[in-house]
């Protein structure tokens, strides 16, 4: 993306928080940065916390996998052929 003149966003959480704050989208604003796993494996201090972490982690995993498909046009514009793009996405979805 940078090669095509795009700006690489290095701190997405801060940029997102600034965008919401600058747009006055909420009457009251408090920003918290959380690190959420992309998968359901962590265990919390309580059963309820574990269930919450695993639910959010599974949602993030699914979101990440769906996001891969949105990369197709960018990869294509960078010269990758359909076979290579499909292989990259399939391998990413399959995991290690």
pLDDT in tens, 27-77: 777 777 777 777 767 889 999 999 998 888 888 888 888 888 888 888 888
Q: How many domains does the chain have?
A: 1
Q: What is the helix (H) or strand (E) element at residue 56, kind and residue range? A: helix 47-70
Q: Is residue 22 domain-resident?
A: yes
In a domain, 1, yes or no: no
Mean pLDDT for 65-94 is 86
State the residue range of the domain holding 71.
Answer: 10-94
**Using an 8 Å Cβ cutoff, are 53 and 42 in contact?**
yes
Question: CA quadruple 55, 53, 71, 11: dihedral positive or negative?
Answer: positive
Task: Tell whether 52 is covered by a domain.
Answer: yes
In a domain, 70, yes or no: yes
- Classify residue 4: in a domain, yes or no: no
In a domain, 32, yes or no: yes
Nearest alpha carbon to residue 54 among 44, 63, 64, 65: 44
């Amino acid at each position: 993306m940078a090669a095509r003149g795009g700006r690489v966003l290095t701190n997405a959480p801060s940029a997102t928080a600034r965008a919401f704050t600058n747009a006055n989208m909420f009457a009251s604003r408090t920003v918290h940065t959380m690190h959420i796993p992309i998968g359901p494996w962590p265990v919390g201090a309580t059963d309820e916390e574990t269930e919450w972490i695993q639910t959010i982690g599974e949602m993030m995993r699914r979101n990440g996998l769906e996001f891969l498909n949105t990369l197709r046009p960018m990869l294509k514009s960078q010269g990758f052929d359909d076979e290579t793009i499909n292989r990259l996405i399939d391998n990413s979805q399959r995991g290690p």
